[in-house]
Structure 1
Amino acid sequence: MTELVLNERRGAIALVTLNRPEKLNALNYALIDRLMQILDAIEDDGSVHAVVLTGAGDRAFSAGADIHEFSESIRNGPDAALKAFVRRGQAMTSRLESFPKPVIAAVNGIAFGGGCEITEAVHLAVASERASFAKPEINIGIPPTFGGTQRLPRLAGRKRALEFLLTGDAFTPQRAYEIGLVNRVVARETLLEASFELAERILRHSSLAAARIIAAVTRGLNASIAEGLAIEGEQFARMVPTRDNREALDAWMSRRAPRYSGC
């Protein structure tokens, strides 16, 4: 049986690949469940400090949720569809958004629907010049269900997001860059290289500090500024007693490269 999600180690970075290329890496329930299991394993693995997430094949990052599968859940009524489809997908994107290790999407092709929502949720994204994005759920009579009505307006602004959400039209990687959905656009053949290079730049620093920054940003975005500042202070306080904090300060004052222990 084909593994739905591949997990490959490259040093301290995990390369995670959605692996249904014949279905444009559509997100069926089994793939989502397997991705969640792999994320659990990566979080528990102290030797992994970042994740690059991509899609198998040459055509798609992910074309979105598996319509044939979730349409059966819809036929069973709203309660069944919410449980099997919506909550599963929202749990996946929330997990990616709050994951304590940096997650970089390497968007190698089509990123429609749920594939676009994964891109919205992860911490950073690099897109191939041949990537394509869309919010096409309106074409099948539903709103986005994996967080797209909430995260895209926060990234792009309300009016720009609503244009994509209400038309369903595809947009280019350059437009995705302009609205803040991706961090950069690169040549197709350099996509993974650029994604790993970005991960390596993060790995120069303390993995504990990176986790604290991710937590502060993720939690603070949906809070008032006062609450966000309190969250920031809380994450700072968690770093103060760590060896990584002492090592970073000592290294800076000694003008040497730090040697982090991750504790």
Structure 2
Amino acid sequence: MPDIVTMEVDRGIALLTLNRPDKLNALSYALIDRLMALLDEIEVTDDIRAVILTGAGDRAFSAGADIPEFTASVAQGPNRAVRDFVRRGQAMTARLEAFSKPVIAAVNGLAFGGGCEITEAVHLAVASERALFAKPEINLGMPPTFGGTQRLPRLAGRKRSLALLLTGDSFSPAHALQIGLVNAVVPHDQLLPAAYDLARRILRHSPLAVAGIITAVTRGLNQSIGEGLEMEREQFARMVPTHDLGEGLRAWAARRQPVYTGR
């Protein structure tokens, strides 16, 4: 059987594809577990410096949770449903959000429920003009459970987020761009090229500096401004003794391109 998440590596960029196109790339427990295992592998592979995450097929990035599987967990009561479904989904989005290497979603179609929550959690996102987003959990009589009640308001603001969360209405990639859910909307055939271009523009820079920025921003958002500034100072201090900061300064003085080593 085909892998439910595939990985291809090209010049330091790992392309992860959610590979259940016949199920609109629904987030089964096995798919989430496989995605987490691949992230573990990528994290310790120095030659991989960025991740692009997309969906297989022409219809969906991910239509959200695997409802039959989730329904079976709900039937076994709240403890089982929370353990199998909520904790697994929240661990996935938290992992994506805090991942030390940049993660870019290439949203190629439907991004409903958990698919939208993945888009909220990753560092950057590019959407096809064919993409469609929704927070439809309320139609099932429940709130979002993979972080959608927390991350979307931080991105879009309370009132705009509540309008989407409380109605379940779908929204366009243009609206996703307007509210800060995605960074760009591009023609469908330019989606992966645009995601790769964004990744390569990041890869020009020190991987240590990239990781420091991701850490400072991700952790700082959930702290006071004073605590966030302390996090920023800590990340800078970590860079001071490194080759990469010295190389960046030397290259600037010599008016040449720096050669970073990640050390």
TM over 0.5: yes
Q: Distance in 2 between matches of 1:165 and 1:35?
A: 26
2:185 matched residue in structure 1: 185
Cα distance in 1 between the residues matched to 2:213 and 2:258:
19
1:51-62 equivalent positions in 2, closer than 5 A: 51-62=51-62
Structure 1 residue identity aligned to 2:99 = F
Q: Partner of 2:35 in structure 1?
A: 35
- Mapped pair 1:118 → 2:118: yes
| Counterpart code for 2:181 | L
Structure 1: state its 5+ residue gaps: none
Partner of 2:16: 16
The SS at the match of 1:228 is: helix
Show the counterpart of 1:204: 204
Equivalent AA in structure 2 for residue 247 of structure 1: E
> Which residue number corresponds to residue 159 of structure 2?
159
SS of the residue corresponding to residue 144 of structure 2 reads coil
Identify the residue that residue 69 of structure 1 maps to in structure 2: 69
Match of 2:255 in 1: 255
Q: Can you list the C-alpha shifts for 1:134-170, whole angstroms capped at 9, x where unaligned?
A: 0000000110000000000000000000000000000
For 2:248 and 2:70, how far apart are their aligned partners in 1?
Answer: 49
Which residue does the alignment assign to 2:234? 234
State how many pairs are aligned. 263
Question: Aligned to 2:104, what secondary structure does the other structure show?
Answer: strand
Identity of aligned residues (%): 70
Structure 2: distance between partners of 1:11 and 1:204: 12
What secondary structure does 1:226 align onto? Answer: helix
Amino acid at match of 1:62: S
Aligned to 1:47, the other structure's residue is in SS state: coil
Distance between the aligned counterparts of 2:24 and 2:218, measured in 1?
Answer: 29
Amino acid corresponding to residue 22 of structure 1 in structure 2: D
Deviations 1:63-87 (A, max 9, x none): 0010100111111111101100000
CA distance in 2, matches of 1:194, 1:157: 27
Residue 80 (structure 1) aligns with: 80
Query: How far 1:2 sits from its partner (Å)?
Result: 1.7
Mapped to 2, the partners of 1:176 and 1:232 lie a distance apart of 29
> How far apart, in 2, do the equivalents of 1:83 and 1:153 lie?
25
Give secondary structure in 2 for the equivalent of 1:25: coil
Match of 2:128 in 1: 128
TM-score (normalised: structure 2) = 1.00
Tell me the distance in 1 between the aligned counterparts of 2:248 and 2:16. 30
Distance 1:242 1:6 in 2: 35
Instruction: Please give the alpha-carbon distance, in whole angstroms, between the structure 2 residues aligned to 1:254 and 1:77.
Output: 65
Q: What do the CA deviations read for 1:41-83 (whole angstroms, capped 9, x no partner)?
A: 0001000110010000000000001010011111111110110
Instruction: Tell me which residue corresponds to 1:45.
Output: 45
Q: CA deviation digits over 1:198-251, x for unaligned, max 9? A: 001001100110000000000000100000000110111111111111111110
Give the ranges of 4+ consecutive aligned residues of structure 1 lying more than 2 Å apart after TM superposition: none
C-alpha separation in 1, matches of 2:2 and 2:193: 26
Residue 221 in structure 1 maps to residue 224 in structure 2: no
State the Cα distance separating 1:10 from its structure 2 match. Answer: 1.0
Q: Provide the rounded CA distance (Å) in 2 between the counterparts of 1:79 and 1:239.
A: 44
Q: Distance in 2 between matches of 1:240 and 1:73?
A: 50
